[in-house]
Chains A and B, each alone.
Chain A
Amino acid sequence: MSFILQDKEDTIVALATPQGVGAIAVIRLSGPKAISIANEVFKGKNLELQPSHTVHFGTIKDGDRIIDEVLASLFKAPKSFTKEDVVEISTHGSSYIVNQVIKLLIRKGARPAKPGEFTQRAFLNGQFDLAQAEAVADLINADSEASHQAALNQMRGGFSGEITSLRERLIHFASMIELELDFTEEDVEFASREDLRELVEKLLRVVEQLISSFDLGNVIKNGVPTVIAGKPNAGKSTLLNALLNEEKAIVSEIAGTTRDFIEDEINIGGMIFRFIDTAGLRETTDTIEAMGVSRTQEKMKTASLILYLFDLGDTDMVEISRDINKLENLGVPFLKVANKMDKSNHLLINSLKEKHPDTIFISAGQKKNLDLLKDKILELVNLDKFKTGNTVVTNIRHYDALTQTRESLLDVLRGIDEEITNDFLAMDIRRALHFLGEITGEITTDDLLANIFSKFCIGK
């Protein structure tokens, strides 16, 4: 058995801000020697003499060599994220500097933190429960306002509350069933099947709601998968760049470890849009009709939003109508975006306005009407529903548990239809409770019995 107990005495160090470009980088030290190790390399005030929750300016020196000018923030146990002594050193955002500082700290006795170890320590030291710990991980990865809010909401326990009330109702349901099983000889009225069905249906609606919020949650966390579709010369790259520059957002080109395609993430109005670059579309010279590559088709289907982009100077009405028809068949919401509005003939524009009045006319190159396009994009994904503060499921483990809860509840309904006896119904209810328990806590049979005894006159 691998105990991590001895590890707990270590002081760990790691970069706390994302790897890569950034104006500043934060290096975090946590553990019993965090302050003394930091103090050894920090030239300025004596950190060991400073109170908690203070920030100090100074330099990091390796011997005589100055590595960087930094700010050191002190958080003393237990008033820190990990409930241990923590020092956060803010350096300039260069990976060279960061590496130099971390190496130095390791030389002075810190140990590189394992992935998730700060959160693990926080969890072990009682900072939060498991569901909250998971939310922290999400919070750290939160790239957008909506995602941040969902994670915050979960940390505050909104999600747990919802699940708890669901469980309470299920327990009540289960005890109605158990009553009939264990106390068959008793002179009490048992729940009617119709009442049971009604209750299960109600619960199912709640579970369904939470499950469907996962797709939403997923979007919030990972961004709205978006595809710009169109012929190669329609101006896709120009549009992408225009949107990027406009927002001055950090563009990350993530070569996903599990993905074999490139994505650009753009923050539009507080919402992340993940532009999926479908290889097929960028390379082939074909029209949408010819996007025969099934992979591209798949990508387009999984997108939540497609921007259908066409060049007004290089497209005719027939082609446009045909493409639009194809897209409609795909069933993914899409926007018709006419590019190079300055280079077009009025005839085409007029006929477009007549046949497709919702066409958005832009000029990506001249950055015209981009705001309009963004408004339309936000309108289409209906940002409002992301911001209502509703409980949103963002965690895949929770999602799995909820899906299995739903399956069990559906089994209950099926059982009621097939008129199977209560002992089998009870089993499916217990399964549902078990899966909900995987999110918050286990249900004990004592709960069921206590519920029964408090409500019914039982016993000879």
Chain B
Amino acid sequence: MFDTYDVIVVGAGHAGCEAAHAAAEMGSRVLLCTMNMNTIAQMSCNPAMGGVAKGQIIREIDALGGKSGIISDKSMIQFRMLNRSKGPAMWSPRTQNDRMRFAEDWRLTLENTPNVDFWQEMVNGLIIKNGEVKGVRTGLGLEIPGRSVVLTNGTFLNGIIHIGEKQFGGGRTGESAAKGITEQLIKVGFESGRMKTGTPPRVDGRSLDYSKMEIQFGDERPGKFSYSNETKPLEQQKNCWITYTNKSVHETLETGFDRSPMFNGRIQGLGPRYCPSIEDKINRFAERDRHQIFVEPEGWNTVEIYVNGFSTSLPEDVQLKALRKIEGFENAKMFRPGYAIEYDFFQPTQLKATLETKLIKNLFFAGQINGTTGYEEAASQGLMAGINAHQNTRDKSPFILNRSDAYIGVLIDDLINKGTEEPYRMFTSRAEFRLLLRQDNADLRLTPLGNSIGLAHESRVMKVKKKEEETSKIIELLDQIKLDPEYANPYLMSLETAPIKEKTILSKLVKRPNFGIKNLIQISPELEKALSALSIDAQEQAEIQIKYESYITKEKQMADKINHLEGYRIPQSFNYEIVKALSAEGKQKLNKIRPETLGQASRISGVSPADLSILTVYLGK
């Protein structure tokens, strides 16, 4: 019934969609299997993309040729650049999205991608022969042959939903769980674990009193994710609101604690520390008498509201009672209660840097199945798995990003070397070279790479080249044009920045705090004229490169210094047992992960610095 596909993707969430699109775009014949074609690319949790560190990831996906950036742009209802008051590496784009449009745009995108076929059915097994995956098996008993398989099952593997004392199987509310795959994988030798995540209740926006809340506007001059010309910034935006819990909310919630699956031990999976449920927050931080609640609309044309910060699995009656004690929520009507969900994941230390499993050839894992949380984390893994599945079936070299290349590199390197005990979310602090991994330069960093593997279009590379050229041109201009004190000083003093004593080149002034190109064009008609033909992106890039030159240089040196450990290769046949001095834990971890370089070994948790120096000596530096 089926021809052999190059890549079969199981699951059509953020990871699955990116995987299917990337592989097909590169030329693979792709089959996307989903249990329900009406729920492709659901935003199962909050209707937003990006944020600190995550916004950078979306920019990286876009720069490589993935679609999450473009689809977020097309479906956004609000845009904010977070952390504007901090340095450029911290600037993080975030959009509020129309949930329905987001899903629709993904579906349209995939339907318009040649080489992507769809199949609606539950996949409950893999065809594995001689340590190699050969296709999937469906609920109807069909066998679909494939040369590689990407599993992106999200929270569906043996998913169990908890609301108060009730519990039932399901991958999302109203959707059934997937069975069979975990059991089969354990049989062939995989190690699985349980994780937990949660989501807050949704309420009817018409029942809220916004006058009692703080308004949160979008940016005055909104930006967007994609570097391409395919999308435009918003002209009109929707607002969000902020309100707070209070003591009486907390007391009400506490009345349900004895029926909480979190506290009575029914939930065993480990939840994320940074995305705690409201009951967890109250319990752990008893001294706080209020917590922030973000009130987020779910789209342009819906009254549904997402109560961000109120994730809970308490009984639904307690949820509603407590909600109504929140300022502005006195008459709130609930659409659906919050819930907690437990699901299977596989320790990602069982993966190679390509996201291919070490055990089964041509089998890839991406997204929550690897213990991560977040749309952005999932999407980026899907993209990398899709790319590498394609590369594998064509016998092309693997596509791997380093920690100093991209957040995506940090993400995958962390996962495969350290594994994770709780749902893994990206933070900027996880990246040791975050000053290099900025949202403003993801295109410069990654688009040429994305193009080299046949994913990012030629037109994008041209755009990057143009940006680079213009940036150098602007830097040159700023180094050449000099300002006359007499002419410039009145303006400088009006800004309360020090006057200049002699003729000064513009680039010197750019380095001043709270001062930049936008100020310089006020006092240098020459610059203003020259810049009029050059893009805003290039201007911003030039300003960042000049302003933070010393820091960026320092960071690059540091990256080089640390990257040199990557040059020490460890033979794959290396016998750690004979190295008596290694700590027991270090030995065990090294044996399990079998790092390819000393650099990789250095990042495995449990491998101590002493272990590393012993290895260094052993390998004869």
Contact = CB atoms under 8 A, between A and B. Distances in A.
The finding on whether chains A and B are genuine partners in a shared complex, rather than unrelated, reads yes
Interface of A: 1-5, 83, 120, 123-127, 129-130, 178, 181-187, 418-424, 426-427, 430-431, 434, 437, 440-442, 444-446, 448-449, 453, 457-460
7 contacts: A3-B619, A187-B244, A421-B90, A423-B435, A424-B548, A459-B275, A460-B294
A442 B614 contact: no
Contact of A124 (B276, B284, B580): B580
A124 B292 contact: no
B620 A4 contact: yes
Given A181-B428, A187-B292, A441-B609, A123 B87 contact: no
Nearest to B514: A419
Nearest to A174: B429
Given A4-B620, A459-B276, A181 B281 contact: no
Contacts of A458: 273-274, 276
A446 B308 CA distance: 26
A-B pairs, 7 with minimum CB distance: A126-B581, A441-B609, A457-B285, A187-B292, A2-B620, A453-B273, A423-B87
Contacts of B309: 460
Contact of B87 (A124, A421, A460): A421
Contact of B619 (A1, A184, A418): A1
B620 A181 contact: no
Nearest to B307: A460
Nearest to A453: B273
Interface string B449-482: 0000000000000000000000000000000000
B291 A457 contact: yes
Interface in B34-58: 46, 51-53
B322 to A, nearest CB: 16
Contact of B581 (A4, A124, A424): A124
Contacts of A445: 427, 429-430, 432
A31 to B, nearest CB: 14
Contacts of A418: 513
A124 B551 CA distance: 39
Contacts of B311: 460
Nearest to B610: A129
B559 to A, nearest CB: 11
B429 A427 contact: no
Contacts of A183: 52
Given A449-B427, A449-B429, A459-B274, A120 B580 contact: no
SS of A interface (majority) = loop
A430 B87 CA distance: 16
Chain B: interface size category = 35 or more
A215 to B, nearest CB: 27
Given A124-B581, A446-B605, A178 B429 contact: yes
B120 interface: no
Given A423-B87, A460-B275, A446 B580 contact: no
Contacts of A457: 276, 281, 284-285, 288, 291
Contacts of A422: 86-87, 90
Contacts of B608: 441
B434 interface: yes
A448 B273 contact: no
A2 B291 CA distance: 59
A5 B602 CA distance: 21
B435 A427 contact: yes
Contact of A434 (B85, B86, B558): B558
A5 B578 contact: yes
Contact of B513 (A5, A420, A427): A420
Interface of B: 46, 51-53, 82-83, 85-87, 89-90, 244, 272-276, 281, 284-285, 288, 290-292, 294, 308-309, 311, 418, 427-430, 432, 434-435, 513, 548, 551, 554-555, 558, 569, 578-582, 602-603, 605, 608-610, 613-614, 617-620
Contacts of B85: 421
Contacts of A426: 429
A78 B325 CA distance: 69
Nearest to B548: A424
Contact of B428 (A2, A4, A182): A182
Given A2-B620, A437-B609, A125 B275 contact: no
A460 B619 CA distance: 47
A422 B428 CA distance: 12
Contacts of B285: 457
Given A446-B605, A457-B285, A459-B273, A123 B617 contact: yes
B418 A124 contact: no
B432 A430 contact: yes
B523 to A, nearest CB: 23
B363 to A, nearest CB: 28
B429 A181 contact: yes
Nearest to A126: B581
A187 B610 CA distance: 40
Contacts of A449: 427, 429-430
Contacts of A419: 513
A439 B119 CA distance: 57
Q: Which of A182, A418, A421, A426 has the most C-beta atoms of chain B within 10 angstroms of its own C-beta?
A: A182
Nearest to A456: B285
A1 to B, nearest CB: 6
Given A434-B558, A441-B610, A459-B275, 8 more contacts: A5-B618, A124-B581, A184-B52, A184-B90, A420-B513, A423-B86, A424-B551, A445-B432
B439 to A, nearest CB: 13
Contacts of B617: 120, 123-124
A3 B620 contact: yes
B475 to A, nearest CB: 20
A262 B613 CA distance: 38
A126 B580 CA distance: 7
Nearest to A175: B429
B411 to A, nearest CB: 12
Contacts of A184: 52, 82-83, 86, 90
Contacts of A423: 86-87, 89-90, 428, 434-435
A302 B427 CA distance: 50
A187 B285 CA distance: 13
Q: Which of B82, B274, B569, B617 has the most C-beta atoms of chain A within 10 angstroms of its own C-beta?
A: B274
Contacts of B618: 3-5, 124
A430 B432 CA distance: 8
Nearest to B92: A184
Given A187-B291, A444-B605, A181 B273 contact: no
B580 A125 contact: yes
A254 to B, nearest CB: 30
A423 to B, nearest CB: 4
A427 B555 contact: yes
Nearest to B94: A185
Contact of B429 (A5, A129, A182): A182
A124 B291 contact: no
A449 B581 CA distance: 30
Q: Which of A437, A453, A457 has the most C-beta atoms of chain B within 10 angstroms of its own C-beta?
A: A457
Contacts of B548: 424
A127 B610 CA distance: 12
B367 to A, nearest CB: 20
A421 B514 CA distance: 11
B432 A181 contact: no
A44 to B, nearest CB: 32
B89 A446 contact: no
Nearest to A438: B609
Given A1-B620, A125-B580, A125-B581, A181 B609 contact: no
A437 B432 CA distance: 14
A311 to B, nearest CB: 57
A348 to B, nearest CB: 62
A177 to B, nearest CB: 9
